[in-house]
Every structure is written in C-alpha cells, then in structure tokens.
Structure 1
Amino acid sequence: MANNTATNTGPVWDWAAGHGPVTGALSATTGCLAVATTGAAAGMPPGWALAIGTAGAIGHTVTSLRERLSARTIGMRAASWLIGAGWTTWAMTTGPLNWAALGSLATFGVGMGAAARATLLREEARELEAIAAAERQISRELSAERRAIATEWVDRIKRVCGITVRVLAVEQWPTGAGFTIDAELPAGGTTYDKIARESARLSADARLPHGCTATASQGIDQGRVLIDVTTVNVLAAEVTYPTDYGPLSLHTGIPWGLRTNADEVRAYLREQCALVVGPTGSGKTNMVHTILAGFARTTDVLTWVIDLNAGSAGLPWVRPALAGDGEGMRPGVDWLASTAEEAELMLDAVVRVAKHRKMAYQDLMSKANTDLLPVSAQIPQIMLVIDEGAEILAGTDKESRKLAAKILEVIRIARAMGIRTVLTALGATGAVLGNLMIRREAKVRVALTGGETEGMDLGKQFPGSRGLRVDQAPYKGAGFMGTPESAPALFKSWRILPNQIRDIVAATSDRHPTLDTVSSKAAGPEYARRWDHARTAWMRDDQPAPPTQRENGSTGGLNLSALRDEQRPARTSAEEELARRFREQIDAQFATAPEPGTTEPGAATEQPPTAAGLNLSALRGEDNAAKDAALALLLAAGPEGTGASAIARALADEHGTTRQTVVGWLKTWTDDGTAVRVGAGTKARYVHHRHAPEA
C-alpha cells in the first residue's frame, strides 16, 4: 500500500517576507548581473541603466525622508542605487562575464549587505531611544504629579494626625476617581489606625467632595499604611446591574456591588455567613435582589428564601416560572417560605440535610482529604436567605423564638456541610448584633445607610474599624461593606430592575443545579412537594394563603371552615333582618340549642331542652367546640398573650383547626373587645381582655 503522506524535512521559504541585509544585497547584485548580461547581448544603450539607477536613488530618498529615517540610512540607500547603476553601465560596456566585473560585483554586494545591517541596527536604536524618551517624558510628568500629591499628603497627615510618614508610592486609579498612597509609618510603634481614626478630618482638610473619603488600611506589613483617596463621587449615580448574566461560582466569589474606585467587591460565602443591614428607604430590598441575582447565576448554589412579609423578597424570582413565561423555565430560587409554618418546614429540612450529609459524604471527604464538603454542581451549597432574619433572632414572642432556635442551629452545625445563611436587618443595633453566633459567623457584612443615623451603629457592625461615618454615604444603595478579604469601606450596590429579574430567571434557568440525591432524600416530602399547587396558590394573583401544612403534609383533620372562607356576597340590612327573624322562628318552633361560645369559659350555661326538636347547632358543634377551646387557650395565656399559629397548632390534632380559621376568630374577638392585639407583623400577639394592659 502506497504511503501518500509526504514528509517535508527541508527549509520552508517565506516568499511573503521582506528582504533583510543578506537577501537584499543578493537580490540587488543578481539583478545588476542579469540586466548587464541581457543588455550587453541585446546591444542596449548603457546610459539607460544609469538613468534607471538615478531615478531609484531619488525615489528612495523621498520615501526615506517621509519615514523620517536618519541621514546615514538615506545616504546608504541612494548610494546603493547609484553604485549598482554605475556597475551595470560599466559592465554593459566592457562585458559582464569576466573576472574583473564579477569580482567587483561581489565586492559591491558584500559592502551593501554590511552597510544595510549597520543602518538597520542604527534605525532600531533610534526608534527605541525615541520610545524611551517619550516614556521618560510621561514618567517625568506623572512623577511630578505624584511628587506633588506625596508632598501635599505628607504635610496634611502631619497637620491632622500629628505624625510624619514617608510616601513610597502613589498609584492613580485607572478609573480616574482617585488614588492610593503607600506610605511608611514612623518608628516608635505607630500603627495605621492612628490615621484611620482621622478619616473625616483628613477628608475635610483635603476639601474632598461629598461622598468622597480618605480611608486608611493596613499596608504590606505593620509598618506601612495604604490611604485610599476618592476624588470623584461615584456613590451618587445609580448604577444598574451588569447585563452580563454569565455563570458564576461560589468558589470565585459573587459580586455584590462596586467600590469607590469602580472595582467589583465580591462575597466569598463557602464558609461565611452574611449580614445585610439597611433601614427603610436605604435600598436593602434592592440589595437582596442583587444577592439573589448572584446566587441565580452560580452553577453550584441553591437558594432557599424565608420572607415572612408575604414572601415579597422571593416572589419576583418565582412568578416568571409559575406564569409560564418560558417553556421548562425553573424559578430563580429553589424554595420560598412566606409563613412561619412554611419557614419551620424549610428550617427542619435544612437541619436534616446538614446532619445526613455529615454521615453520607464521609468517604467523599476522606478521598478529597478535607473536612469541608466539596461543593460543586453535583453537590450544591444551600444559601438560606432570610429577609429581616436578624429581627426574628431578636424577637421575644414564642413564634420568633422557635424560628430563631432553628436558624441558629443551621448556622451552628451546617458550615462544613455547605449550608450558609444571609440575614438582613433594619438596623445595626445591639438587639440585632447582640447574638454571639451572628457576630462570629457573619463575617461578610453590609451596612446600607441611605443617610439614616438612627439605629446605624457602624462601630457594632464593623468592630475595630475607624473613621466610618453614616454621612459619608447619604445616597440610596450606598453604604459600607466588609469581608474577611477586604476591610470595611464605601461601596455602591447595583440597581436591579424588575425586567432584569425576569431576564436573569430566563437566562439562568438551565444553569441551576439540582439538590443531590442524598440531600433530597433527607429533605423529605416537604421539599419534594414545595411547588405543589396548594402550597404555591398564594404566589399567584389574587390567591389567598394556603392552609397551614403540618409536617406530614396534611391539615390534621376535616377542615369544614374552608367552606366558610369562600367569598360571599355582602348582605343588605333587609336581608340580615329577614335572616334574623327566620332564625327566631326556627328556634321558637323547634327548640334549637343556643349558640355555643356566647358565654365565657367557666360560666354556667343553660342546657338545651331534651325535648325532641331540630338542633341546627349540631352542624356547628365541632367548629364551636374548637372555638371555645381557642378562647380558653387565649385566656390561659395570661398577660403574655399568644398568637394564631400557636393556637392552631394546639387545636390541630383534636379539631383539625387551621391558622386561617383562628385568625378569623381573633379578628372577631378583637372587634368585639374580647381580645386585645399587642404588637404588629410577625411579633403580633393577642391578649384576653381580662389580662389586657388597659384592664
């Protein structure tokens, strides 16, 4: 069989390459010899060669002048043309094929090559020197500016802080928004925080614009300091979330906003929890959406959201998928809880997942030689985002305490198993930051100030940091962010628009990982049925919240109240009067029983007659028995009071009562004065009028 593969072992000639000193001389001499030989044989007049050479010399001189070549190079090129033309004219006259002609031609070629090499080296040297001269000029200009900055700030630091530093370098930021000074601290144990404490005074002395600061941080060693000086206020402008929705990873960090030098600031949450603080109007909700956007873009994170304020933080990330905006679209978050009951189901599932992972993945961690679960797209990390979760931890009511205990358990046991939390709060106060677990685990911290001073203790939020003031970031979405990798400093959160949320959900739908089989089994049926229609009906337009789900997925009994929760048309006064008379006639004729629950617990009640008759109240007996039991629980709760969820849980096993039903009773009792509502929101509780504060 013939071998059709040809092996080329010789040199490859590049015909597109230009002439060098050797090939140029060889080309010129062979050309002269060919013209002289042909001209002598054809009887061509010798003067033609001289005229052509003269024209070539003039043409190359003109082009060399345009290229601003040196005089030596111009002279070498013109001489080469003239000498070549002179030799060709002489050889055509005397004959080119003799030893004198060939020897002189060879000498001419060698001389031309050497001259071309020398002039080429000289031109390269001239070009390098010109570039170096330009760089030196730029350096002199920059050095002059840097020297002026260094001198100015050495004087300023001495005047404001009382210490003399030696500036080693000044780096201008590429964005033009400021610069960084690298300075050496004086001997005698002076530390960088002596400058950091005077940030506000330094900024005022430098006459920096509002929103610009001079902040000091640790240098390369403890005897150095870095001073970041912002000269352009980048916090005032609204910066929309980047439209590049490319994939991210938990291990490479998730961008949460921009520093004042326009660099992205990233949160690394494999082992750290996060705490985001921001009062109303500071842009905290927008920041939560930015955080959820980053998690949605990752390939190794599943996001579970708890928001007891009607689930508002997670709804925009769920609705596009529920509305069917795209075929096969998945929600931007993996689980959303809007009620305390659903939050308990979620937290219980998280704890089970963490404990089961510890047992099931021992071999995997042993092979990887690590005590941290290797998080990947196959075994994703669960990020638990709890809006106003810090307030839940600080709550004193029974419901909040129960949720808080579960949240703290997740934070305490789940770090190694790839489960971390992001908590938000309305203020940086002692009540929020008083928990040691939060202070220890939430090393990624954000304080969105929005100019608000009440409840914004930056010293508690960023302990050990100096010179941070709320009035440095008076703009919505602006504040301070600190991580274990970067010291607390000003930053600006991106503005994310509703249409961007829909776009991100659509763009990242096929990127979300699925919960690994081991974890999904541990999470149980509560996780598997999280998107059941009954549990997501409240997420759709004009749908009431679903009945409270018990841990086994049922309501614990026959829920007759569901028939009464349907919307009924309002009755007119005439219809009400007619209904009242009809009930009186029935009671008179059939001796029906009195309405249960109309007397207080413990009071003597008149027993219904034993005579045969139609007892319409029998149809309501079970429901009213539950109502009596609920009123008894309310009375037994004393001055502390209780809530709808607690009453519903106590009655669920015996009566199958749902939280919605209890809420209706409590509202009725509040309206008629039987109960008094104390507090608001998730902290609301109900107290019997006997124990009410005003009683």
Structure 2
Amino acid sequence: MAPKTKKKDRVGPPLDWQAPHGPVTGALSATTGALALATTGAATGMPPSWALAAGAAGALGHGLAAVKRRLPGRTIATRASTWLVAGGWTTWAVATGPLSWTALGSLATLGVGIGAATASAHLHEEARDLEAAASAEREMARQLGAERASIAAEWTDRVQRVCNVAITVVGVEQWASGAGYSIDAQLPPGGTTWDAIARCSPALSGDARLPHGCTATATPGIDQGRVIIDVTTRNVLADETAYPADYSPLSLLTGIPWGYRSNAEEILVHLREQCALIVGPTGSGKTNMVHAVLAGFARCTDGLTWVIDLNAGSAGLPWVRPALGVDGVTPGVDWLAADPGEAMAMLEAAIRLAKARKVEYQQLMADANTDLLPISSQIPQVMLVIDEGAEILASPDREMRKLGEKILEVIRIARAMGVRTVLTALGSTGTVLGNLMIRREAKTRVALTGGETEGMDLSKMFPGSRGLRVDQAPYKGSGFISTPTKPAGLFKTWRITPHQIADIVRATSDRHPTLDAPSAKAAGRVYAERWNADRIAWIGTSTPTPPAPPALPAPGPAGGLNLSAHRNQQPSAGPGTADEDALAKLFREQIDAEFATAPEPRPGPKAEPRAASGLNLSAHRDQQPPADTDAGAKDAALVLIERAGKAGTGASALARQLHPDYGTARSTVHEWLQEWVQSGDVIKVGSGTKTRYVHRSQHTPD
C-alpha cells in the first residue's frame, strides 16, 4: 500500500471549496454546470421541465438566503436571474440538443452576461457598504465633534476667567483609559507662556469641580506658543493596582516601567546615563516602590543590580531568599550589602570596575564611535540601589561619611562606563538635597507623599514646577515623578507582594547576565565570593537568637574605678532582683579590675585629698542627677522651640535657656537640632549666624 501523501508534500495551489465566487468564477460555474446537466439530460432522455424546476428552486433558495443576510436588492435580483436563465437554457438545450453551435454560442453569451451582472452587483454592494461605514463615521465624528466643541468652549471661557489668558483651542483628545482628556491650545500673542496657566492649576481644578485627586495640569505644547492642558476626570490613583504579571525581558536602553500616570499611561524610566532619587516618609510606600524598581531591573537582560541597605538588608532580602538552596535559581539581585563593611567593599569594587572598563573597552567604543560604553548582555550595566543612601551622604558619622564619599565617587566617574545609582531618602529636605552632585545627576526624581506634609518640600525636589501639592496624592504609593523628558506630574506605583517577588525571581533566573571578564577581574575576590556561605550566613536565619552574655572574669584586686557610692542603695523587691544585683555586682567588680582610677576617699568630715593615680570623678560625687535629666532637657528644648513661634530660636539661645535647670551644653543642643531637622520635627531657616530653628507646627512654607 502506497504511503499517504502529506500536506507539506503536495504541490500546486490549495483548493478552498468554501471560498465565495467572483464575477468570473461564478459565471464559469453557472455555464459549465448548465452544460453538464443539459448534456447528461439529453443523453438519458430526462424531461426538460426538470431543469426548469431546478432553476426555479435555486432562484428561490438563493433569493431567500440573500434576503436573510440583508443583501442589496440588486444582488438578490442578479442571483435569482442567474438561476432562472441557467435553468431556462438547460431546458431548451435538453429539448433541442446542447452540442450545437447555436446552443454553445448562446451559453457563452449567457456566461458573459452573468459575469457582467455579478460584477455590477458586487460593485454596488461594496459601494453600499462603504457608504454605510462612512455614514457611521460621520455620525460618530458629529457626536465627538459636538462634545469636543463643548469642551473647547468651556475651557476657553474658564482659562480666560481664572488665568486671564485668552487661549484658542486647536484640538481635544480623549484618553484611551477614559480617565480624562487633553486640550491643545494656542497661546495669545504678546509673550504669554504656558507656565502662566500652570500656576493656576489648583484654581482651574476647583473651578471645573473636578473630583478629589483629579487635576488640570498645564505642560509645554509642540512649540513655545502652544500649551497642553491635561484634565483628569477619574482618579485612577485611588485604586490599588498589582504589579503587571508580564515578566517579559526588558532593557535599560528602552526603559524600565516604574508606575503609571494619572491618565493610566505607563511610565518608562531611562537610566543608561541618569541616576535616580526616590524620597518618601515612613508609610508612603517607599519600600514597595524600591521592590517595583528591583522587579524592573530583575527583568533586564543587560543589567545587574547591587543593593546596599544598612537596615539589615531588608530591601534586598526578598530577592535573595527565594534562591537560597534552590538549584537552578539565581537571586534577583547580584550582590547585597547589609553592613558598612560589605557596603564599602561593594562601592570600592564598583570604582575599580569602572576604571578597568575605561581602559579595557577603548577600542570597542572607538569602533562604535561613541564615548559611552555600549552595554549589552555581554557587558551589563551595574545598577547600584542604595536604600536611604541620601541619609548616608548627609550623616555626620565618620564611617557613614566614608561611605558617602565612595557613593559620590561612583556617581562622578562611572556614568560612561555603565554604573548608575538609585538613592532613596526619607524626605525632600535641604539636608538630603544639599549635595550638588545629587541634584545634578539625579535627573529622574520621585517624591512619594502618601499625604504626608512634613519634610516634603516639593519645590526643592522639583525646582521650577508649579502647582504641586502633597494633598493631590494622599494614597500610599502615589506621589510625583519627573524625568529628563517629562516635567513633574502625579503618578502611582504598582503594589508588589512577597509572593510575586518570588515568582519574578524564578521567572527571570535564567535571564540575568554575568559580569564581563575584565570587570569581574577588577571587582576581585570580594565580588567572586559574595555568595560564599560565611558571607551570607546571616541571611539564612529567620529569627536570630541573641547571643548569650559573655562570662565575666573573676574580680581582680581593687584599685580601679570604684562605684561604691551606688552599693548602699537598697534594691527594689521583685522577681529576678537577686540575679540582677549579682550581675551588677560582677559588672562593677570587672570595671574596678580593668580601669585604673582614683581610689574612693574614705568618708570623714575633713578628709584630705590623696594623690590620684587615674581618672578622678570626685567633682561629681555630690551631684546625683535623676536618670531622666537628659530626656527631660530634650523635651524642654522642643517645647521652647515651639514657644518661640514663627521667629524661631538659635542653638546658643536655646542652650542658655536650658543650662540653669539642666546644665545642657551648646554642643548637645546642636546635636538635638540636627536630629530634629532630619526627622522633620524642626525646620532650619537661614544659614551661618542667621540660622534659626522653627517648630514644624509654627513653620509657614514660603
């Protein structure tokens, strides 16, 4: 038995027996069918009337089908006539003979006529359909035109009344999301600019009676004489939207999604050359935003993510733990530092990496005719995410200052070589934004407000932007974002959960590139051994057990620091008091044994001072300040600042007020003031000798 012919082995055009007939194929089908039936009927002696009955039945059936499909009358008439004419010719041919020249010539003539009639019917039917579609479009355009004309007239009048600017609306575009529309308007001659309308954004929103959370925002138009007014009519920021389930590959060159704007448009952030700054107070959704950023980086095929989080590595742990002990799964971040030592090693490795690339890839950049290293999956970019990195830069601590210097060096030297940073901070204050390098390089800026007003100076975060108010974004995860190509505007990031983070880690595990050989060599062993068991042992313990207190050595001979002034105090009764007293006694004896200090003088009315052999604290022995003196002074200082009102007070004046009751030094007061400025409890006004500190409840923003 011969094998069956497979479809892919067949030659010739495929035949579709269900395809509709055109004018030519329809005419051929009708004439050949009639000739075949007439020849067969004449040869077999078939009654001629049968052919006429068949033609009449075909005409009736096709006519009813065409009526049911609501075809034009011309098409119905053409199909019915074709069946009747074919049936009539067949009846005549059966009776007289189908193979005569007369019969064949008349059949050919009928075929030409059927083809012409069918073509005419098809053209008429196509014209009818086109006219119906055009009529529907005209009706829709009429309706949209009326709506747009109404919107144009309404906003022309509103801008004239509120802003005193006579605009001419050029176009109105409805957003695909249905959340609002954009108005393209021509500015009047005479030097009026778009920001004349942007300054009136709150007034325009109120005049239009927009829902809470909806705004009317003005941005530059196609040229300096045009303005775009984006009007939000439905607050999409109020809804919590999950991070998209699409984990498809991304590239740093084409943009990373960070959230969506008030018109539901997705925001793509380009960080090949730019750094980013994300600020947000506690409870604003900043940690969730960091995870959304890390999710985008994890999906990249040309980037590696290094994370520094000195708060126990909490920002990077969810991206590492799903890969621990799982074969074939790599962490979602390439390196995680949770303490200053590991962070310093990471930053130094990044600096060595950037310098090595400057030398190694000179020929590659020359071949590409660019001064920017062409990043790819073979030469990935390193994205350095530093949680609360802006606070590290502003910290007075010596160790933190060294880390801050390394961060600034990375920002300064590594742009062209593909190392960029994403810093976060708790607030957009002058302390955070005081560094020129951060302001200059962090062109992508995010301010998550969550309704928090303290420490959120949007004018410092987005200089030049007008009409931005914290109360416009009261929802967790919402705020304002600006990029080099887009001015500051409302946005919201997606909600991402730990389970989804684990899914992303698994879905993108085989996508992460490896560091190129010259960069890996420059990074050194500290990079190669970053996932060694001893380096990540702290990650595997879910609930660390506090270490047992070290065994105290046996008490040594007396002669050191003597705390006998506290030994005659009666311990308070209560559970565990005896054990606590014993431990305290051992602690005092250890101090006496370790530190050489002045011996304790014997009590007496006129005890003569003896030569001290060490630290002498006898000047303070008669002073017994309460344990909470320092805390009381700190509370009193905050009250004094609040009482100073809007004028505020200085550090020296505050120290003079506190010293009689608490003995507080000016240096201590200065430390408190810096702490309060960072937390937002106190606002620093002025500089140098004119520096004043105003309580947040008394401060009125300029």
What pairs with 1:550-569 in structure 2 (closer than 5 Å)?
A: none
Alpha carbons of structure 1 residues 385 and 33: separation in structure 2 relative to 1, 3 Å? closer
Q: Which residue of 2 aligns with 1:329?
A: 329
Give the match's secondary structure for 1:479.
strand
Partner Cα distance (2:48, 2:139) in 1: 54
Partner Cα distance (2:105, 2:460) in 1: 94
Structure 2 residue identity aligned to 1:528: A
Structure 1 residue identity aligned to 2:595: G
Partner Cα distance (1:297, 1:8) in 2: 45
Partner Cα distance (2:92, 2:285) in 1: 91
1:81 aligned to 72, 80, 83, which one?
83
Partner Cα distance (2:287, 2:449) in 1: 13
Deviations 1:603-647 (A, max 9, x none): 97769xxxxxxxxxxxxxxxxxxxxxxxxxxxxxxxxxxxxxxxx
Q: Which residue of 1 aligns with 2:454?
A: 454
Q: CA RMSD in A?
A: 3.3
Partner Cα distance (1:116, 1:134) in 2: 27
Structure 2 residue identity aligned to 1:56: G
Structure 1 residue identity aligned to 2:111: G
Partner Cα distance (1:578, 1:35) in 2: 119
Q: Which residue of 2 aligns with 1:463?
A: 463
Q: Which residue of 1 aligns with 2:257?
A: 255
Alpha carbons of structure 1 residues 319 and 604: separation in structure 2 relative to 1, 3 Å? farther
CA contact (8 A) 2:182 2:228 kept: yes
Deviations 1:502-531 (A, max 9, x none): 222222222222222212222223223333
Structure 2 residue identity aligned to 1:54: A
CA contact (8 A) 1:479 1:490 kept: yes
What pairs with 1:524-673 in structure 2 (closer than 5 Å)?
A: 524-539=524-539, 540-543=541-544, 573=578, 595-599=593-597
Q: Which residue of 2 aligns with 1:132?
A: 134
Kindly state the Cα deviation for residue 248 of structure 1 after the two structures are TM-superposed. Answer: 1.4
CA contact (8 A) 1:395 1:683 kept: no
Alpha carbons of structure 1 residues 345 and 116: separation in structure 2 relative to 1, 3 Å? same
CA contact (8 A) 2:187 2:227 kept: yes
Give the match's secondary structure for 1:28.
helix
CA contact (8 A) 1:391 1:425 kept: yes
Is 1:494 matched with 2:499? no
Partner Cα distance (1:594, 1:13) in 2: 106
Is 1:159 matched with 2:157? no
Kindly state the Cα deviation for residue 212 of structure 1 after the two structures are TM-superposed. Answer: 0.8
Deviations 1:162-218 (A, max 9, x none): 112222221111111111111121222221111111111111111111111111111
Partner Cα distance (2:9, 2:288) in 1: 66
2:170 aligned to 168, 171, 176, which one?
168
CA contact (8 A) 1:538 1:545 kept: no
Deviations 1:335-378 (A, max 9, x none): 22222222222222221111122112212222222111111122
Is 1:72 matched with 2:70? no
Which has the higher mean CA deviation after the structures are superposed, 16-25 or 151-160? 16-25
Partner Cα distance (1:390, 1:384) in 2: 13
Which 5+ residue runs of structure 1 have no aligned equivalent?
Answer: 1-5, 547-560, 585-591, 608-675, 685-695
Partner Cα distance (2:408, 2:480) in 1: 25
Percent of pairs identical after alignment?
Answer: 66
Q: Which residue of 2 aligns with 1:105?
A: 107
Partner Cα distance (1:115, 1:604) in 2: 132
What pairs with 1:336-485 in structure 2 (closer than 5 Å)?
A: 336-485=336-485
Partner Cα distance (1:372, 1:25) in 2: 68
Partner Cα distance (1:182, 1:600) in 2: 84
CA contact (8 A) 1:276 1:447 kept: yes
CA contact (8 A) 1:352 1:523 kept: yes
Partner Cα distance (1:18, 1:77) in 2: 13
Which 5+ residue runs of structure 2 have no aligned equivalent?
Answer: 1-7, 554-574, 600-609, 615-667, 677-702
Deviations 1:441-494 (A, max 9, x none): 000000001111121111111111121111110111100111112221111111
Which has the higher mean CA deviation after the structures are superposed, 477-486 or 85-94? 85-94
Alpha carbons of structure 1 residues 79 and 246: separation in structure 2 relative to 1, 3 Å? closer
Give the match's secondary structure for 1:250.
coil
Partner Cα distance (2:118, 2:594) in 1: 117
Give the match's secondary structure for 1:276.
strand
Structure 2 residue identity aligned to 1:376: S
Alpha carbons of structure 1 residues 480 and 579: separation in structure 2 relative to 1, 3 Å? closer
Kindly state the Cα deviation for residue 18 of structure 1 after the two structures are TM-superposed. Answer: 3.1
Kindly state the Cα deviation for residue 14 of structure 1 after the two structures are TM-superposed. Answer: 6.0
Q: Which residue of 1 aligns with 2:556?
A: none
Alpha carbons of structure 1 residues 537 and 122: separation in structure 2 relative to 1, 3 Å? same
What pairs with 1:171-210 in structure 2 (closer than 5 Å)?
A: 171-210=173-212
Structure 2 residue identity aligned to 1:200: P
CA contact (8 A) 1:270 1:418 kept: yes
Structure 1 residue identity aligned to 2:126: E
Q: Which residue of 2 aligns with 1:620?
A: none
Which has the higher mean CA deviation after the structures are superposed, 80-89 or 263-272? 80-89
Which has the higher mean CA deviation after the structures are superposed, 342-351 or 282-291? 342-351
Alpha carbons of structure 1 residues 442 and 594: separation in structure 2 relative to 1, 3 Å? closer
Give the match's secondary structure for 2:535.
helix
Alpha carbons of structure 1 residues 604 and 300: separation in structure 2 relative to 1, 3 Å? farther
Give the match's secondary structure for 2:594.
coil
Alpha carbons of structure 1 residues 99 and 535: separation in structure 2 relative to 1, 3 Å? closer
Structure 1 residue identity aligned to 2:210: L
Partner Cα distance (1:456, 1:527) in 2: 37
Deviations 1:297-345 (A, max 9, x none): 21222212222222222222222333x2x22432222222222222222
Give the match's secondary structure for 1:92.
helix
Partner Cα distance (2:140, 2:307) in 1: 54
CA contact (8 A) 2:347 2:407 kept: yes
Which has the higher mean CA deviation after the structures are superposed, 15-24 or 154-163? 15-24
CA contact (8 A) 2:597 2:613 kept: no
CA contact (8 A) 2:356 2:518 kept: yes
TM-score for both structures, normalised by structure 1: 0.78
Kindly state the Cα deviation for residue 544 of structure 1 after the two structures are TM-superposed. Answer: 7.7
Kindly state the Cα deviation for residue 578 of structure 1 after the two structures are TM-superposed. Answer: 11
Partner Cα distance (2:200, 2:222) in 1: 21
Which has the higher mean CA deviation after the structures are superposed, 335-344 or 448-457? 335-344
Alpha carbons of structure 1 residues 285 and 679: separation in structure 2 relative to 1, 3 Å? farther
Alpha carbons of structure 1 residues 577 and 29: separation in structure 2 relative to 1, 3 Å? closer
Give the match's secondary structure for 1:424.
strand
Q: Which residue of 1 aligns with 2:284?
A: 282
Q: Which residue of 2 aligns with 1:549?
A: none
Partner Cα distance (2:191, 2:36) in 1: 85
Partner Cα distance (1:481, 1:399) in 2: 32
Partner Cα distance (2:383, 2:454) in 1: 30
Give the match's secondary structure for 2:508.
helix
Kindly state the Cα deviation for residue 70 of structure 1 after the two structures are TM-superposed. Answer: 2.1
Partner Cα distance (2:187, 2:72) in 1: 52
Deviations 1:569-612 (A, max 9, x none): x998379769979x99xxxxxxx9971314279x97769xxxxx
Alpha carbons of structure 1 residues 683 and 519: separation in structure 2 relative to 1, 3 Å? farther
Partner Cα distance (1:114, 1:434) in 2: 84
Partner Cα distance (1:255, 1:578) in 2: 57
Alpha carbons of structure 1 residues 465 and 35: separation in structure 2 relative to 1, 3 Å? same
Alpha carbons of structure 1 residues 575 and 279: separation in structure 2 relative to 1, 3 Å? closer
Q: Which residue of 1 aligns with 2:646?
A: none
Alpha carbons of structure 1 residues 580 and 273: separation in structure 2 relative to 1, 3 Å? closer
Is 1:218 matched with 2:220? yes
Give the match's secondary structure for 2:104.
helix
Structure 2 residue identity aligned to 1:451: G
Kindly state the Cα deviation for residue 683 of structure 1 after the two structures are TM-superposed. Answer: 8.2
Q: Which residue of 1 aligns with 2:148?
A: 146
